[in-house]
Amino acid sequence: MTRTWLVDQERAAWVRLAAVLELLPGVLDAQLRRESALTHFEYYTLAMLSEAGGRTLRMTALAAQTNATLPRLSHVVRRLEGRGLVARMPCPEDARATNAQLTDSGWAAVRAAAPGHVAAVRSAVIDALTAEQVDQLTAITTAILERIDPDRTMAATYSRYDGAAGGDPATS
């Protein structure tokens, strides 16, 4: 039988998680806007392209990796394209599909924005935790993702660093 209400311990955990989910995007967005003139989603889009082979992805694959609808992603990519950070072109394997490719200027923008973004992530999240808590956070978020992403739609994004030794993904 499913309980209707959360018990105090569950509610305490849930409201804190909900607060993090509400506050953290604004913290990251504000830093990127201030220091790099990018929104967090724009940066994330550029970062996903920077990690792709040939710095190119089909728009549908990029949408899956960023958890965006195609209309939202198309709007953001159009804006990035207008700034010379991304180029769109027909997919050579399927003329009905469109690829997005990070330009040299886009690569430079990601490289310039990354140190500030990493510092913000460290300041807001990582440095608040012990090494053991970072491992626990990985385990906790993995358990949640198994429930909310059972088809592993975003697994290419969140599992790519499992077992990685660390370091700068842009140079590895």
Any domain includes 146: no
Position 169 scores a pLDDT of: 47
Any domain includes 96: yes
Q: Across residues 14-20, what is the average pLDDT?
A: 96
CATH for 66:
1.10.10.10
Position 33 scores a pLDDT of: 98
Which element (helix H / strand E) includes 98?
Answer: strand 98-102
- What range does the domain containing 87 cover? 15-128
Any domain includes 134: no
Any domain includes 110: yes
Q: Across residues 5-11, what is the average pLDDT?
A: 95
- pLDDT tens digits for range 130-172: 999 999 999 999 999 999 999 988 888 888 888 754 555 443 2
Any domain includes 81: yes
Confidence of residue 1 (pLDDT cuts 50, 70, 90): low
Any domain includes 24: yes
Any domain includes 79: yes
Give the total number of structural domains in the chain.
1
For the entire predicted model, the pTM comes to: 0.86
Any domain includes 143: no
66 exposed, middle or buried (CB, 10 Å; 0-12, 13-18, 19+)?
Answer: buried
Question: Which SS3 state, helix, strand or coil, does residue 89 take?
Answer: strand
pLDDT at 112 > cutoff 50: yes
Position 164 scores a pLDDT of: 57
Helix axes 40-50, 59-66, angle to 10 degrees: 120
